[in-house]
Amino acid sequence: MERMMQQFMRATIFAAITASSLTGCLPTNIEGHQAGILETCDGVSKDVLQPGTHFFQPFCREVYVYHVGTQLFTMKGDGKAVAEGQTPAGDEPCLRVKIKGGQEACLDIRTEYEIDRRHLPDLHKAVKDQYEQVILRPAVIRATKNRATVMIADAIYADETQVALEKHVEEELLKDDDLKRAGIILHSFIIEAVHLDPKYEEEVKAKAIAQQTRLKEIELAAAAQETAKRTAAQAQAQVEQARANADAAKIGKVKEAEGQQEAAILEAKGILAKGEAQARVEFLKRDAMYAGAAGAWRGRIEIERARAEVLKGLLAGVTVIPEHAVLQLTNGATSAPPVTPTVPVGR
């Protein structure tokens, strides 16, 4: 099937070429990244020819094919050669600008852009295919010089300075009215190299390197300071944690002592309660023992027994003599040696 389609296409193209040759028309092929403008004796057609094969009679008709994909415009070359009036073959000379301090710099630049095909009829009428030299180049030079003149020679070598310059030039080109009217769309602007007077270039490079070194040292110092702050913060956090742990341990000990004290109090209360209970039991037992007549009799016996125990203590060491012996001593003797007092025993 595919082979049959190829044969059909070949036959169709052959037939078209044959027909065009018989009618006097010539084919014009336009690629996918191209667009065409038809110019006749009546002027430029406002219709843009799209990619494909177009047939026109050669009489009083001409097709102009334009590149509408991404294109590259460069200005570069050896700064020393340019200073001596030597332009490298095949290259646009590098862009020479005056910078602050009276120095002159030569910039190697690279610009990427494309043409809006809708603007091709007007662009063709104005400059045809010379739009790069007539419109784009002056706009790039103008925007670059406007920004480069405020930069000092020492700074233009610094990467951040070049990036800032590129950004400013891009902004200027995007706002450029000439580029807008021509349908030139900017994609990027890049500074690839910077050339200064050879006598001054080494000095500037040395200053730039010293500046970069100083900035690096500042960055390292800032990093070290940040590390020191972080270390101090970590140490402080450890101190706070240790303090919190100590406080927690202290609180734990206090709680433990309070618990022991409370346990001792509870134990003492338990002992007291037990003693009170035992005393109550003894009291109840005693009440039971001395209740009624039998209890009263038992009580009197115990009381008398207690009195006897008291008297026994009082009479310890006392000699007891009979009553008649006492009477004899009283009647028969008028004087006698002192004797130990006696206590008469009751009958």
C-alpha span between 142 and 148 (Å, rounded): 10
C-alpha span between 161 and 188 (Å, rounded): 17
Q: Note the pLDDT of residue 88.
A: 44
Instruction: Inform me whether the pLDDT recorded for 1 exceeds 70.
Output: no
Instruction: Inform me whether the pLDDT recorded for 76 exceeds 50.
Output: yes
Q: Note the pLDDT of residue 323.
A: 60
Residue matched to tokens 């290259």: 91
Instruction: Inform me whether the pLDDT recorded for 55 exceeds 50.
Output: yes
Q: Note the pLDDT of residue 173.
A: 95
Q: Note the pLDDT of residue 301.
A: 77
Q: Note the pLDDT of residue 187.
A: 95
C-alpha span between 208 and 306 (Å, rounded): 123
Instruction: Inform me whether the pLDDT recorded for 80 exceeds 90.
Output: no
Q: Note the pLDDT of residue 239.
A: 82
Identify which has the larger pLDDT, 59 or 340. Answer: 59
Residue boundaries of the structural domains of the chain: 16-67, 71-196, 297-330
Q: What is the mean pLDDT of residues 269-278?
A: 77
What is the rounded average pLDDT for all residues in the chain? 77
CA neighbours closer than 13 Å in the CB half-sphere of residue 45: 14
Identify which has the larger pLDDT, 190 or 197. Answer: 190
User: Could you report the per-residue pLDDT of 26-47, keeping only the tens digit for each?
Assistant: 788 888 889 888 888 888 888 8
Instruction: Inform me whether the pLDDT recorded for 340 exceeds 60.
Output: no
Q: What is the mean pLDDT of residues 207-218?
A: 79
Give the pTM: 0.49
Q: What is the mean pLDDT of residues 187-204?
A: 81
Contacts of residue 144, Cβ cutoff 8 Å, sequence gap at least 6: 95, 97, 107, 109, 165, 169
Q: Note the pLDDT of residue 337.
A: 53
Instruction: Inform me whether the pLDDT recorded for 60 exceeds 90.
Output: no
User: Could you report the per-residue pLDDT of 132-158, keeping only the tens digit for each?
Assistant: 999 999 999 999 988 887 776 666 667
User: Could you report the per-residue pLDDT of 282-301, keeping only the tens digit for each?
Assistant: 666 766 666 666 666 776 77
- CATH number listed for the domain at residues 71-196: 3.30.479.30
Residue 347: band (very low, low, confident or very high) from pLDDT cuts 50, 70, 90: very low
Q: Note the pLDDT of residue 313.
A: 66
Q: Note the pLDDT of residue 79.
A: 45
Of 113-122, 200-209, 263-272, where does the model show the most confidence? 113-122
User: Could you report the per-residue pLDDT of 309-321, keeping only the tens digit for each?
Assistant: 766 766 666 565 6
Q: Note the pLDDT of residue 177.
A: 95
Residue matched to tokens 């191209």: 34
The widest CA-to-CA distance across the chain, in whole angstroms, is 206
Q: What is the mean pLDDT of residues 69-89?
A: 64
User: Could you report the per-residue pLDDT of 85-115, keeping only the tens digit for each?
Assistant: 444 444 568 888 887 777 788 889 999 999 9
Instruction: Inform me whether the pLDDT recorded for 303 exceeds 80.
Output: no
Instruction: Inform me whether the pLDDT recorded for 73 exceeds 90.
Output: yes
Residue 22: band (very low, low, confident or very high) from pLDDT cuts 50, 70, 90: very low
